[in-house]
Amino acid sequence: MPIIAPSLLSANFLNLQKDCELLNESEADWFHLDVMDGSFVPNISFGLPVIEHIRKATNKICDVHLMIVEPAKYAEAFKKAGADILTVHYEACTHLHRNLQQIKSLGMRTGVALNPHTPVQLLADILHDIDLVCLMSVNPGFGGQQFIPHTLVKIRQLKQMIEERNLHTHIEIDGGVTLQNAKSILDAGADVLVAGNTVFKAEDPIATIAALKAL
C-alpha cells in the first residue's frame, strides 16, 4: 500500500488545528510540511513555529521538505521542532554528503529532493545514504500545478537504481498528484504520494485519502 502524505501547504491556515485533526482521523500516514524561504523558491510558506505546533497536534510522521538555501544552518532547529524526516534539495547543497550525515546524526531520516529537470543519476554515488528521494513533479514553490509527465520516466530510472543496489530508499512524488494519475505514478515505482489540493480541496478529504491509500 502506498504511503499518503497530505501537504499542509494546501490546508486552511485559519483552521490549521481542524485540518490536523482531520488528517489524524484519516488514513494519512505522514504530514508533508513544505518550508520555503522566498530565495530558493519564489514563495514563502511557514517555518519552525508552525511545525512545532503541528508536531504537538499529531503522532504521525512529520515529513519536512526544506526548499531553502543553506539548509544545514537549520537542521538542528527542525529536529527540535519535531521533524522525523528532513528533506533537502540537491540543488541547494554544495556539500550534500555532509548535509546528510548531519541529518542522520540528529536522529532524523534523510531525504533528498530533485527539481523536475535534475537527473536522478546524479544521486548514484550517494543513494546508500538517502532514506527518501523526493521527485518534484512540478516546479517547486507553489501548489496546484499540473503534474509533469516525464516524472514517470524518472521514477522508473530511480527505482532501477535502488533495486540494483538492494536498497530500501523510498520514492516520494510531490506535485500535481491526483486520483486520476496516482495509479500510474505508483505503477512506475513510487512509494509515497504527496497530495495537497487533491486532499484539501476535495468535498470529502478523508474519503479522498482512503481512495489514494487503496490504490
C-beta separation of 112 from 130 below 8 A: yes
Query: 136 has which bridge partners?
Result: 174
19, 29, 34, 191: the active-site residue: 34
19, 29, 129, 174: the active-site residue: 174
Residue 118 DSSP class: S
Half-sphere exposure of 3 (CA within 13 A, CB side): 21
C-beta separation of 111 from 136 below 8 A: no
> What angle (nearest 5°) sits at the alpha carbon of residue 82, between those of residues 214 and 186?
25
Longest dimension (CA), the chain: 46
Residue 190 DSSP class: -
Position of cell 504530514?
31
User: Nearest CA to 120 among 152, 79, 73?
Assistant: 152
Position of cell 536522529?
107
- Is residue 34 flagged as an active site residue? yes
- Is residue 29 flagged as an active site residue? no
> What are the catalytic residues?
34, 174
